[in-house]
Each structure stands twice: as structure tokens, then as C-alpha cells.
Structure 1
């Protein structure tokens, strides 16, 4: 859930979000935040890779802890548009306008990362001006990509019908994935996410190390699926299902072949 920056090292709160989207280890989070070296909390909402959408109560709790220990919040909300019916997204800035910045982009939702566009919402005017000054002084950045600006404006102003169709398509892909796993690979535990187009799959019952599983997937099944080791848990795979269902079907067949061989 969080990753606090300490010089060149990262401090993590391990196992904070599980496959059922429940947050555990609030005491661990508190212990990390109260350390004097902890200055920033990196929050991802909706969460990558689990697909969890933080509830209002959870966000309020996080904000209260950060305020208690004077920790600045940087919230990455790039998946905020891709939320399914059973969940409701709320930005952390609904609960605080102090010591917080929200980072976002339309590029995930509308598949336009090549146009290079992102934006920050910083409620405090003084801090916003300081940030812009730092960009200019250190990185010589005085303006954003014109194509990035225009593409994001067009997407947000005219893309609502597309977004509805996208979420419906992604939901169908997740339904297919769930059915396939239950039928063909019941050892893999999977709960459909509340948001994002990422499937966070528990493969611990396969009895394979992360290295062995990757070897079977890549070299036998000829399919690439990201190992959970990238996110700190080798018992998971992260699969991107934002693709034509025909490609998903082929990928799942290859995954099954690699695992069963």
C-alpha cells in the first residue's frame, strides 16, 4: 500500500493488502510513519497491483496518521477512471488539502502514453508555485507536451462513451478469466478487482518457486506474465487483461500449457 522514501532506500509495509482487498497491519503502517526519517508516503489509489479501491474510512485513517506524524502524501491515482460497479473511487484530497499532492493522467484509461501527458493536483498554491519553480530550475521544464495536453483534454471532454464501453469489455474479460481459472487452473486463487485492468493472481498453491514458474511460462508456454516479485510477493502473478478477448484466451491457454507441462 505504501512506500516511504528514506534517503536511497525504500521502507515498505509488507502484506498490507491481500487478495480480499482488506487492509491489514495498520500498526505496521503507523510504526513506519512515526519514524523521524519518514517524510513522504506514496499511496496508489486505485491500488496497483491488487486493484483495490480505498474506502473513505481507510483514506481518512491514512490521512489522520500522516497528519499525526507530519508525513507528506503523494497519491498516484492514474487508474481512477477504471472502476467497476461494486466500488466507488474517492481522491484522498477529499479529506485533506494540506501536505498532499495527487498525480494522475488519462494515458492509462485512453491508451495514449506515447503522447506523454500527466498532471498534478496540488491544493496549496504556495507549494504548487515552489514545485513549478523547481521544475524550471533543475530540469529546465517550462511547458508540457502540447500533444499530451490536447489528447487529455479531448479524452476527458469527449471520451465518456468510450470509457463506458471499455469498462464493460474489461469486465467481460475478467469474467472469462475467472471462469477459465476455476475450470482449468483451480489451484490459482483470483478475486476480481475493484478497479484497474490488472489481475492479481495467487499462485502459491502451484508449489512452484517464482523462478520455476517464470521458466515454465516463458520457455514452455511462450507467454509473459509479470511475477509478483516485482511488487514484493513471489506468490502472485500480475496479468494485464486490457486486450482483445481472443488474445486473452490464447494467453490463458499458453499459461495452462506452461504450468501443466
Structure 2
């Protein structure tokens, strides 16, 4: 699936967004409000903390918005068995997409088999329940060679997406990384950008680079700006329009 920023519709753009509700300080009231916003804009999913999966599932019971959550977040350093338990609980609570943090420290240590086996364990568990897995590489800490290796390990292990970042590292998604990741996996694997998609211009740039999903907190701004520009026939520029995750 590929989109073009020149022809993408509002509905298609909305379905590229995972509305992020991962800030550690969020209250249950704020999570429900975020779910309601996601439902109004018909985004692809809300990405919530594991403790809020059931809450989000209840808030979105009559909507077309999917429930996603994180596994091994944000550092990827939990043991494999801990990640499996976390993933199993999330699926039981109502999640249908898991954003799993790869153990990037082990990858940097040369433990490719460990990393691949862990990703496969989560993918096998999720796929047995018709859920999907996005593997977060945390590109801020990886060389280009390590990013390519990680992408290939993810595909071999059965990942549905490779994802740039958690949002908790010094840097996030870049167009260069998206292009590198897109070139490092086959068409069977999709690419997700996170941390840095703060404006409509940035979102459209990521789409043209090859993403099919983006994590964002500035969801309303991005989609409202898109609707306004489409209605007026104006062109989207690289200029910053607003801020967000």
C-alpha cells in the first residue's frame, strides 16, 4: 500500500495515523478524551499504555478505531518472557496491534539471533490471535548498517511494520531513515514513522517517503490543516504549521 501526498484523501490520511496517548503523566480522563478525539477523526488506531488498553477498548467500542499498545516500552530491555507476558495480557485486554520495542542494545552487542527470536515470539503470539506487530527499532541509537540489519531481522521474524522510534529518544523519524527502512524490507512489511510528525507538511513528506502509519499527538491539527487546504486549494509547504509529538 502506497499513498501519494498529491492525491491522498482526508479519509486515507486519517487512516495513516496512530493517535499517541503514551505520555506517562496522562490520566484516565485524558486517555478517554484522546480516544474520543481519535473516534471523531476516524484515525487508524489509538496507541495507549498497557494499563489503559481495557479503558480504550471500552471508550472505542462503537468506533472504527483500532486499539494498539506498546510492549517492552520504551527501552526494549525487558526479558523475552516479560515481553511475551505483556503482549499476551494486552491481547486479552483488547489490543489488536502491538508496538514492540526491539532490544536495540542486544542488536548493538551483535546478538542478532536473540533479537530475531524475541521478535518472532511476539509475532507468533500476535498472529495466532489475528493481531499485528510493529517493531520499534529506536533509530536514534543505531547506525545505518544496524538499521538495515534490524529491518531484515524484523521481516524474517514476521513483523507487519518496522517503526522508527518510541518518542522517548533524543531524535525521531527522518525522511532519510524512512527511505532506508522502506528499501530494506519487501512490500510485505510496512513502515511507521514516530516522533517528529508534528505538522501536515511533515506528515505528507513521510507519506511520500513510504510510510503507511505515523504516530502523532497533533492529530487534530494535521487533519484540520489538511481539510482546510483541500477546501481552499492551497498548496502544502515545508513551513511549520503547528506542533505536536
TM-score when normalising by structure 2: 0.33
Which fold has the larger relative contact order, with Cα–Cα distance below 8 Å and residues 6 or more apart in sequence? Answer: 2
* Larger Rg belongs to: 1
TM-score scaled to structure 1, two decimals? Answer: 0.32
